[in-house]
Amino acid sequence: MSHPTVDYVLELIEQMPQEDRLTLERRLSERLDCDWNEAVAENRRVALERGITEGTTARVIHRGRYGE
C-alpha cells in the first residue's frame, strides 16, 4: 500500500539535522503522552460511571492470577 505523503515526510525527517530530529521526537512524544492521558481520564470517567473502581479492577486481576 503506497502512502506518498508519509514517504515524503519520512524523507524530510531523514534529511533533518540530528538536533531537529531529536526535537521532533520529543514533541511527538509529548503529544502522544497528552493523548494517552486524555484517553486514560476518559476511560476512568466511564469506569466510575459504571461503578468500576480501582479496587474492583485489582480484585478481578488478583482472582484471575491466583484463582481466588
The model carries a pTM of 0.61
Cell of 6: 508519509
Domain boundaries along the sequence of the chain: 4-66
For the stretch 3-16, pLDDT in tens is 999 999 999 999 99
Question: Is residue 66 classed as helix, strand or coil in its secondary structure?
Answer: helix
For the stretch 31-64, pLDDT in tens is 999 999 999 999 989 999 999 998 998 998 899 9
- Scan for cell 460511571, then name that residue: 49
